[in-house]
Amino acid sequence: MSVIEMKVPSPGESISEVEIAEWLVSDGDYVEKDQAIAEVDSDKATLELPAEVAGTITLKAEEGDLVAVGQVVCLIDTSAEAPEKKEAPKAEKKAEPAKEEKKEAQKEEAPKADVKDSYAKGTASPAASKIMKENNVSANQVSGTGKDGRITKKDVVDAMAAGFDTSSASGWGGTRDKTPKRMSMLRRKVAERLVAVKSETAMLTTFNEVDMKPIMDLRKKYKKAFGEHHDVNLGFMSFFTKAVTEALNLFPAVNAQIDGQEMIMHDYADIGIAVSSPKGLMVPVVRNAEQMTLAEIEKEIKRLAIKARDGKITPDEMTGGTFTITNGGVFGSMMSTPIINPPQSAILGMHNIVERPVAIDGKVEIRPMMYLALSYDHRIIDGKESVSFLVKVKEMLENPERMIFGGKDPYEVLLGL
């Protein structure tokens, strides 16, 4: 008998323990090598734990247990034989009827059973079931693409990304029931950090507004050529990221951090982009954004957002940011005061675009306007710097040609020619 001890691998340098969020297999199951057997929560991300070898598994930890990095969480007996796969019974071969009889038989033949009629249709996998419970999603809202119509984790994530009203998914209301729900390790850590920010920083917020018409006109003019050449959409986030990196260069304190009695200045801009995922809000980091083109920024944001949505983002991809951008506008927010993402000293909040009457050259015009909010730590950033930084971001967004092209040919710059 050969038994392998599976220990919790280190998800990142600063992580010493994780929580067993969910076992994806049962005690005594036969698992294949590299099969996902559990989901574990750290204080930064949720990760899948793959089986190191094939064999019969014995669980040594319960769901919800906090386990140290390097601790044994299960045993795998590699001497166990894989269960035989049951083959579907073969249909008896019948003599081919005459053409006339065959046609008649086809008319009377009952329709073949398909995925819609399968007993497994609508049955969720353990991982899918967990996400559905967390987000109040019912089986009839998700189309299963797994074997025999089973609902996979990806099916649920894709359905949620497509968007639907989950508030009435399970017949909400009508009772006085209360159900306790344990907060995930990630959510608990986020809560601790947010409370710490409010109590440990001198956080203030300054507001401004930006006329989005210049960017919207530019996107309309070049987005087709941009998309065909780079295979990625020209979105708003790349313009905001570019404007922020330029402003950070002029006001480096906004890009700095406090470390004891010192200010840590950064000669680079690692921009955290807040994205929504089934696990909650996550902030993957775009490294050296100050050196990137619009296309490179768009591609990196898309790559990180997909990994966050699919639960494959790593802790290293969410640490080390120097400044954060969050877009509450995609959810309909008109104005908010975003909370600083520690140990950073500032965060920019984008909001929804609303057509409003504004004065342009002494005349009233209807323009697509967006409120901007910059929350900052007053211990390290003065009011003058914060206001000047936000005004600079506004100026660059309202003059995107000058910011991006700098007198060069727009098509050459956008297409990277």
Active site residues: 378, 382
Which token pair is 251?
Answer: 């006001």
Which residue, among 63, 62, 64, 49, has the nearest Cα to 6 in the 3D structure? Answer: 49
Helix (H, G, I), strand (E, B) or coil at 236: helix
Write phi, then psi, for 218 (nearest 5 degrees).
-65, -45
**308: which 2 tokens?**
């966050």
CA angle at 14 for the pair 12 and 19, rounded to the nearest 5°:
70
* Residues 138, 141, 146, 147, Cα dihedral to 10°: 80
By the 10 Å C-beta count (0-12 exposed, 13-18 middle, 19+ buried), 373 is classed as buried
**In whole angstroms, what is the distance from residue 161 CA to residue 351 CA?**
20
- Give the β-pairing of 271-273 and 323-327: parallel
Contact 248, 269 (CB under 8 A): yes
* DSSP-assigned letters across all residues of 64-88: T-EEETT-EEEEEETTSPPPPPPPP
The first and second tokens of residue 409, run together, are 């040919």
Give the start-end residues of each E strand in 157-254: 203-211
46-50/66-68 β-pairing = unpaired
DSSP string, 97-134: PPHHHHHHHHHHSPPPP-GGG-TTTTPBPHHHHHHHHH
Contact 247, 389 (CB under 8 A): yes
CB 293 within 8 Å of CB 300: no
